[in-house]
Structure 1
């Protein structure tokens, strides 16, 4: 309990690291005064000596100014041209794009055209073709583009994958994942329920879930066996293509089946009360691996390993991994137990910009494949992909 309290304190009050005088810091600009920005960038930046959150832009000038004052950001751009003014600022090195899904493509492309590196929230776009175009432009411009699957940078999920990859439990037989939030957390007006902005449970919780299945299995699906959307039953919502939840079964190579259930408005369970579900279980020939809270492991998590011994007995163990440690396995000494997944992600992103080798990375191919299989699930579900952006890249 003491370590938990200390960890949570450091999450929200990290030790401030002043910029290194011998190293030019990366100056970030934030597109939109989004609720996720403090956890995803502003708080992690406080403990990174090579990062400055330099500017923020919002369409509402008052909102932009309030956000900047609250978080100690020196430069503010507001109004209808605020986003572009931020991109045109020569002091800005990198852009964090936490805008609604449907705006990721347009403003990431504009940021790349302005010569800025981009850390783009997931899912990166509404279609796989858009994601491909984004990476094509980044590579053409010699810029870094990363899809912010922050959980992938934390040692806990990497440890779970290492157990599976080690062969300790034999071949994978099946994967089961559930990720759901209790009803009431999101209002009907939430952008996650807006089709035009790339909304839907499969786009939100589902992009994590699909990515986790692909990551732990080290494979892409070969087909979507089934996909059943849950509609949002509300008097205020008439959009039939919005999925409040999605249940899907995927066929993976070597006859492995993976099931996933995601829900943005899970019915309440009172005994015991459950505000969310966030777990994945991988069943193997010689045992199982279960990971609780794989998306936000800094707050708490557990890696439960069940190993069927040759004598017929089963051994159980629970692992918790909050930082990379220089131990017997010679794992890289990196991080602190209070580092958010976003802090590990920021470390990797800055390493890439500085020409260093990141501890891990989410590749172009990974991001394109994840979006393609999201589209495939939507097609199987009968409600189709989210609408492509109307933005057209200017002719050279």
Structure 2
């Protein structure tokens, strides 16, 4: 009963965040490119409880949609129609731009936002190619601006706790990482933008960016080789992976493994847009899980992209290799009502105010993540998503 009450209270505060007791006189002003479905949970709701941030404007290609979105979420300005995105970028009352546009538009509109002198919170994956990501971060540095790729899960206490368990050596030498990121078929229809190749569609892009990121984060290293990668496609979408499974070799504490041998650390990433029904007819729950195995134990984290809803950290470990495993379960929700996105916002505002964030996700991390996503796509034979042809600064 207590667990159910805690769950209900967490969700209530997420969707009904309390106003800050002492708001700043000149908060950071955010503008949103596109009336995206993710924007409320990713930015609008977190901002409501932050004393130093407000959402000032939204832009959409349709004025009616912009007006409706702005009214629904209490946003003062709504730019719509032709040139709406650029009008928002030209608004002198915007300090930070949130870019949740389709993957294939990330590069164009992030470069244009940086050119307009705006800091950028950029949805993942950062772009269609690693080279585009490199160019964006280089341009941000040249302009003296902050660019952050929105891997929000990393800022949450649950993820940080799993990392601490691994780093403590409790699991011994790491041997295997397994990441599952799959959803039932009814979430991603044929008409979904995630099925459009030119817009950076594909399971490895949309879900694999999470899987690649957390495997690298928990391994505390980057891969050395793609051992294998296989993609499933549909006849209607021959270049878009509905699912991809990849196995990568990682370096271990004893040296770098380049051949995927049994004594090295490997990571298996499974991403799927359309998990098949159980027994052919039973609906499947989404599977967002990660397991890290070592010579002295195992740690599992369920629901790692959204641990603020619910999660379990299950640890089985022994004091020595081959010893009897002891099992325990932990939960780490942190500040009541704070989502992964709220923790991310806290870090971003700290960075913009020249304070040291508790955690940060830097440029090279973003570049490397997409380099290895591209390496997986190369191994599958599908190849990288197409680079942008837009004219950018």
Q: Same fold (TM over 0.5)?
A: yes
TM-score by length of 2: 0.94
SS in 1 for 2:205: coil
Residue 46 of structure 1 deviates from its aligned partner by 0.5
Any residues of structure 2 matched to 1:172-321 within 5 Å, and which?
172-232=174-234, 238-254=236-252, 255-269=264-278, 273-310=283-320, 312-321=323-332
Q: CA deviation at 1:35?
A: 0.3
Q: In the alignment, is residue 353 of structure 1 matched against residue 352 of structure 2?
A: yes
Q: Which structure 2 residues correspond to residues 11-30 of structure 1 after superposition, within 5 A? A: 11-17=14-20, 20-21=23-24, 23-30=25-32
Q: Given that residues 298 and 337 in structure 1 are in contact (C-alpha distance below 8 angstroms), is that contact kept between their aligned partners in structure 2?
A: no
Q: Tell me the SS of whatever aligns to 2:389.
A: coil
Q: Decide whether aligned partners of structure 1 residues 106 and 183 sit closer, same or farther in structure 2, where only a CA change above 3 A counts.
A: same
Residue 379 of structure 1 is matched in structure 2 by: 378
Is the CA contact 1:179–1:262 (under 8 Å) kept in the aligned structure 2? Answer: yes
CA contact (8 A) 1:280 1:290 kept: yes
CA positional deviation for 1:18 = 6.4
Task: Show CA shifts across 1:233-291 (max 9, x none).
Answer: 5xxxx231100010000011132111011101111227975321111111101000111
Residue 331 of structure 1 is matched in structure 2 by none
3-state SS in 1 of match to 2:139: helix
Q: How far apart are the structure 2 equivalents of 1:20 and 1:177? A: 40
Cα shift at 1:169: 1.7
What is the DSSP-based 3-state SS (H/G/I as helix, E as strand, rest coil) of the residue aligned with 1:91? Answer: coil
* Residues 184, 283 of structure 2: 8 Å contact kept: no
Distance in 2 of aligned mates of 1:392 and 1:273: 45
Residue in structure 1 matched with residue 261 of structure 2 by the alignment? none
8 Å contact 2:275–2:284 — kept in the other structure?
no
Contact 2:276 2:284 in 1 (8 A): no
SS of residue paired to 2:221: coil
Q: Matched residues in 2 for 1:58 and 1:14: separation? A: 26
The Cα RMSD (Å) is: 1.3
2: CA distance, partners of 1:379 / 1:265: 22
Write the mapping of 1:308-347 to structure 2, written as runs, cut at 5 A: 308-310=318-320, 312-323=323-334, 336-347=335-346
SS of match in other structure, 2:19:
coil
Q: Which runs of 5+ in 1 are unaligned?
A: 324-335
Q: CA deviation at 1:338?
A: 1.9
Alpha-carbon offset, residue 391 of structure 1? 2.1
Alignment partner of 1:45 out of 44, 47, 64 = 47
**Alignment match, 2:257:** none
Q: Distance in 1 between matches of 2:202 and 2:159?
A: 25
Q: For residue 187 of structure 1, report the CA deviation from its aligned partner.
A: 1.4
Deviation at 1:17, TM superposition (A): 2.2
Asked if the contact 2:13–2:336 (Cα under 8 Å) also holds between the matched residues in 1, the reply is no
CA drift of 1:377 comes to 0.3
| Equivalent residue runs for 1:82-97 within 5 Å | 82-97=84-99
Please give the alpha-carbon distance, in whole angstroms, between the structure 2 residues aligned to 1:362 and 1:158. Answer: 13
Structure 2 unaligned blocks of 5 or more: 253-263
CA distance in 2, matches of 1:239, 1:274: 23
Q: Distance in 2 between matches of 1:60 and 1:232?
A: 32
**1:56 alignment counterpart:** 58
Asked if 1:2 is matched to 2:11, the reply is: no
Take 1:182 and 1:274, find their aligned partners in 2: how far apart are those partners?
A: 6
Q: For the Cα contact (< 8 Å) 2:106–2:126, is it kept in 1?
A: yes
